[in-house]
């Protein structure tokens, strides 16, 4: 028996996947390759990640279940989306509508930070 056969016995590949390393590998692969593949079709990368999440999730192919690791990666994904949105902000437009932007941001923070909502 060679090394590759020994490694396969150590990893449980039954669906839904439960090994955090395999889950991380799949999520990392989706994060890297879905924007590249769908970028060739002129579809935004974030849409590719959403489609991949739907396909791999419990209501799609059932490769990944909704557990704590998926919840953590989902929160990291939201932070990534917010980061990308921040990169798209034009500072000149933001300075022109500074009061409206800050009021909207503060209201959003206050409303969404309530414990009943989250």
Per the domain annotation, does 80 fall within a domain? no
Residue 99: the pLDDT is: 92
**Given CA atoms 103, 71, 47, 60 in this order, what sign does their dihedral have?**
negative
Both tokens of residue 104?
């909207």
Per the domain annotation, does 39 fall within a domain? yes
Per the domain annotation, does 106 fall within a domain? no
Per the domain annotation, does 45 fall within a domain? yes
Angle between helices 45-56 and 68-88 (to 10 degrees): 170
Count of structural domains, the chain = 1
Which range marks the domain in which residue 38 is found?
A: 3-66
Per the domain annotation, does 28 fall within a domain? yes
Both tokens of residue 86?
């921040």
Per the domain annotation, does 118 fall within a domain? no
83 vs 93: CA distance, rounded Å: 18
24 vs 15: CA distance, rounded Å: 15
**Ordered per-residue pLDDT tens for the chain, 118 residues:** 555 555 555 666 677 887 788 888 888 888 888 888 888 888 888 788 888 888 888 888 888 888 887 888 888 888 888 898 888 888 898 889 989 988 998 998 888 887 765 5
Per the domain annotation, does 53 fall within a domain? yes
Per the domain annotation, does 34 fall within a domain? yes
Both tokens of residue 47?
């849409």
């Amino acid at each position: 028996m060679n090394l590759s056969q020994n490694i396969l016995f150590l990893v449980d590949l039954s669906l839904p996947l439960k090994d955090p390393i395999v889950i991380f590998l799949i999520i990392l692969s989706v994060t890297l390759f879905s924007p590249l593949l769908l970028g060739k079709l002129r579809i935004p990368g974030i849409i590719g990640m959403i489609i991949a999440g739907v396909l791999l999730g419990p209501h799609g192919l059932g490769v990944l279940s909704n557990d704590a690791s998926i919840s953590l990666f989902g929160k990291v994904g939201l932070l990534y989306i917010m980061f990308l949105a921040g990169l798209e902000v034009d500072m000149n437009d933001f300075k022109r509508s500074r009061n409206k932007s800050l009021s909207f941001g503060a209201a959003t923070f206050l409303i969404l930070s309530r414990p009943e909502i989250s």
